[in-house]
């Protein structure tokens, strides 16, 4: 069964702290929420839509050897018709940040009391 | 707490088991950690002037994670880089699967030598004489073998390396085996034609007492690290060792 993120079928990779890939890859609720929030932030970003019309999420990664709030914690890849795929690094941040030039997306998550699943603000 | 301890113990054991360190850098990537990963196999997309320079930068935190998975917990600034196994100019991606720590200072094989291969492969691909996918497979499978095939003899008489003991797999997922030549029985570290073989216990014969370590550093008798250095090759003089591309330890 293919992995999906925000309804997009994707190739998913989870890299463990020792550098090996988890097989099969399974995201934690926080990782799932962070990647979905990053995709939502990009897809809804006005400049992203203008610069990259038709960009489609095809690949996502979670790097567990990188701290949640550091660049490089998450990775997203989008295809573009006839062009090179786009790469973005995502991380948890105190406020939503999208830097198209550097390929960085900072997303805000919190845990509501009694809820183990992270939720986007 | 229990799960945290388990994670810490497992992680520690994995890193402790790494055969690499600052003194013993990997000359080839471990295929189980760095199989290689590509963004595209379309040559038209990578044969554009300024292509590699337009690509994303790998963050320092991701670089640190890659060093750690190779057991390199500290390293001298400027002596290392986090290399893209399949280079950006050959369509490689910025994912962790495509990154490994490579030394600039090991002799004769180092990051500068691999850079020369990357440029040669890119030229062949963009001249239309080599399919991009073939170039990607060759460099991912064994860059020293690809160098021999596409550039020429390795520098200073070095031989094609075989994957180290740490590599649990020699094939790259998603990449078919490439038809690059390897040298059966070749040693796992570079040697020079001008050197003498060490004794079985790692010492050097009296006629060639200069010891060269795995990291390409030579040690002379009387030096602090001389006795504990397990020689990979031996030379009669410092001049011979330096002529073969090895260097003195930094003090």
Does A84 touch chain B if contact means CB atoms closer than 8 Å?
Answer: yes
User: Which of chain A's residues have a Cβ under 8 Å away from the Cβ of B56?
Assistant: 87-89, 102-103
B134 and B211, same domain (yes or no):
no
Does A78 touch chain B if contact means CB atoms closer than 8 Å?
Answer: no
Rounded to 5°, the CA angle B23-B106-B143 comes to 115
B135 and B246, same domain (yes or no):
no
Domain finish residue from B100, B133, B157: B157
B35 and B80, same domain (yes or no):
yes
The DSSP bridge partners found for residue B81 are B102
User: Which of chain B's residues have a Cβ under 8 Å away from the Cβ of A77?
Assistant: 39, 93
Count of C-beta atoms within a 10 Å radius of residue B77:
5
* Residue A18 to residue B14, Cβ atoms within 8 A: yes
Within a domain: B78: yes
Range of the domain at B99: 14-157
B28 torsion bin: left (phi>0), alpha (psi -120 to 50), beta (else): beta
Within a domain: B44: yes
B153 and B208, same domain (yes or no):
no
Within a domain: B185: no
Identify which has the larger pLDDT, A12 or B217: A12
* Residue B66 to residue A19, Cβ atoms within 8 A: yes
Within a domain: B184: no
Structural tokens at position B206: 């009296």
User: Which of chain B's residues have a Cβ under 8 Å away from the Cβ of A83?
Assistant: 45
Residue A23 has pLDDT above 50, yes or no: yes
Q: Where are the domains of chain A?
A: 3-120
Does B248 touch chain A if contact means CB atoms closer than 8 Å?
Answer: no
Nearest by Cα to B205 from B189, B181, B221? B221
B140 and B221, same domain (yes or no):
no
B132 and B203, same domain (yes or no):
no
CA atoms within 13 A on the CB side of B96: 35
Rounded to 5°, the CA angle B160-B185-B116 comes to 0
B97 and B36, same domain (yes or no):
yes
Within a domain: B1: no
* Residue A70 to residue B59, Cβ atoms within 8 A: yes
Residue A18 has pLDDT above 90, yes or no: yes
Residues 163-222 of B with CB under 8 A from A: none
Report the residue count for chain A.
121
Question: A120 CA to chain B: closest CA distance, Å?
Answer: 24
Residue A119 is predicted with a pLDDT of 44
User: Which of chain A's residues have a Cβ under 8 Å away from the Cβ of B15?
Assistant: 18
* Distances A8 to A28, A63, A88 between C-alpha atoms, Å: 18, 20, 16
User: Which of chain A's residues have a Cβ under 8 Å away from the Cβ of B69?
Assistant: 17-19, 65
Residues of chain B with pLDDT below 70 are 1-17, 52-55, 164-194, 243, 245, 250-251
Domain finish residue from B157, B182, B208: B157
Provide the 3-class DSSP secondary structure of residue B185. coil
B148 and B245, same domain (yes or no):
no
pTM (2 decimals)? 0.72
Residues 6+ apart with CB under 8 A from B70: A19, B18, B20, B26, B30, B33, B100, B101
Within a domain: B173: no
CA atoms within 13 A on the CB side of B157: 10
B27 cis-preceded (ω within 30 degrees of 0): no
* CA–CA dist B173, B32 (Å, integer): 9
* CA–CA dist A9, A31 (Å, integer): 17
Is residue B221 packed enough to be buried (19+ CB in 10 Å), middle (13-18) or exposed (0-12)?
exposed
Does A20 touch chain B if contact means CB atoms closer than 8 Å?
Answer: yes
Residue A117 is predicted with a pLDDT of 45
B152 and B199, same domain (yes or no):
no
Number of domains in chain B: 2
B203 and B140, same domain (yes or no):
no
Does B33 touch chain A if contact means CB atoms closer than 8 Å?
Answer: yes
B145 and B213, same domain (yes or no):
no
Torsion of CA A101, B92, B163, B25, to 10 degrees: -20
């Amino acid at each position: 069964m293919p992995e999906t993120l925000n309804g997009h079928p994707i190739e998913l990779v989870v890299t463990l702290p020792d550098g090996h890939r988890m097989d099969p890859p399974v995201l934690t609720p926080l990782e799932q929420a962070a990647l979905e929030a990053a995709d939502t932030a990009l897809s809804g970003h006005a400049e992203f839509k203008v610069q990259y019309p038709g960009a489609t999420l095809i690949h996502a990664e979670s790097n567990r050897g990188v701290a949640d709030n550091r660049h490089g914690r998450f990775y997203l890849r989008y295809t573009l018709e006839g062009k090179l795929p786009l790469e973005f690094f995502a991380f948890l941040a105190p406020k939503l940040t999208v830097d198209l030039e550097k390929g960085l997306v900072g997303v805000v998550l919190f845990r509501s009391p009694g809820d183990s699943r992270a939720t986007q603000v | 707490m229990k799960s945290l301890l388990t994670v810490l113990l497992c992680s520690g054991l994995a890193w402790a088991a790494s055969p690499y360190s600052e003194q013993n850098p990997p000359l080839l990537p471990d295929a189980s950690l760095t199989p290689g990963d590509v963004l595209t196999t379309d040559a038209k997309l990578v044969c554009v002037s300024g292509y590699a320079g337009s690509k994303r930068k790998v963050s320092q935190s991701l670089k640190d994670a890659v060093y750690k998975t190779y057991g390199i917990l500290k390293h001298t600034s400027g002596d290392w880089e986090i290399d893209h196994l399949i280079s950006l100019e050959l369509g490689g991606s910025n994912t962790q699967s495509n990154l490994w720590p490579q030394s600039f200072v090991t002799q004769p094989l180092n990051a500068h030598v691999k850079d020369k291969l990357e440029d040669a492969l890119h030229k062949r691909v963009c001249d239309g004489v080599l399919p991009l996918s073939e170039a990607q497979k060759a460099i991912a499978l064994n860059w020293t073998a690809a160098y021999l095939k596409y550039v020429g003899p390795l520098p200073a008489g070095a031989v094609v390396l075989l994957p180290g003991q740490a590599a649990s797999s020699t094939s790259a997922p998603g990449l078919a085996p490439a038809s690059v030549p390897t040298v059966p029985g070749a040693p796992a570290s570079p040697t020079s034609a001008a050197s003498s073989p060490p004794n079985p216990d790692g010492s050097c014969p009296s006629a060639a007492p200069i010891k060269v370590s795995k990291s390409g550093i030579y040690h002379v008798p009387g030096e602090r690290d001389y006795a504990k250095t397990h020689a990979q090759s031996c030379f009669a003089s410092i001049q011979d060792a330096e002529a073969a591309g090895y260097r003195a330890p930094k003090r």
